[in-house]
Amino acid sequence: MTPAGPKYFPTAGHLLVCQGQSCQARGSRLLYQALWQALDREHLAYYKSGGRVRLTESGCLGACSYGPTVCVYREREGTLEQGWYAAMTFPKALALAHAVQAGRDLPAEHRYGPAEPLTP
């Protein structure tokens, strides 16, 4: 008999909030905590009924002077889409999570970097 593996939670996308030193100095710790609570409260978090968004902390995302930095990855139309955001606020991060949950286009405000999906 094989032991049970970890439970897999299908998600609509994965948000990462930088917890590097520069982003923390710009409020990323509080941003992460507030976002976590909102995802839980609004049933957007993957572990809640109907929730489809995964949220984790990350190390430095390489935009230290423009934090708090957030990135998102999701599969959309068969490709891996990425979104990079600088100077994120709680309302903008929550709007990003709602877009991921609903499968809508990612918000353009505060977005930087490639707008095209990653191609294999």
**Amino acid in position 32:** Y
How is residue 2 annotated by DSSP? P
Please identify, using beta-carbon distances, which residue of 103 and 113 lies nearer to ligand FES: 113
Nearer to ligand FES, 21 or 79 (CB): 21
Distance of CA 22 to the CA centre of its chain: 18
Q: Which residues of 46-66 are buried (b: 16+ CB within 10 A; e: fewer)?
A: beeeebbbbbeebeebebeeb
| Two tokens, residue 85 | 């955001």
Residues of the shown chain interacting with ligand FES in the complex, contacts defined by CB under 6 A: 18, 20-23, 60-64, 67, 69
Question: Would strands 13-18 and 53-58 be described as parallel, antiparallel, or unpaired?
Answer: parallel
Shortest gap between Cβ of 91 and ligand FES (angstroms)?
A: 19
Q: From the CB of 104, what's the least distance to ligand FES, in Å?
A: 25
Choose between 13 and 20: whose C-beta lies nearer to ligand FES.
20
| Residue (12 or 23) nearer to ligand FES, CB | 23
Tell the smallest beta-carbon distance from residue 17 to ligand FES (Å). Answer: 9
Question: Least distance to ligand FES from the beta carbon of 83, Å?
Answer: 15
- Which conformational region is residue 100 in: left (phi greater than 0), alpha (psi within -120 to 50 degrees), or beta? alpha
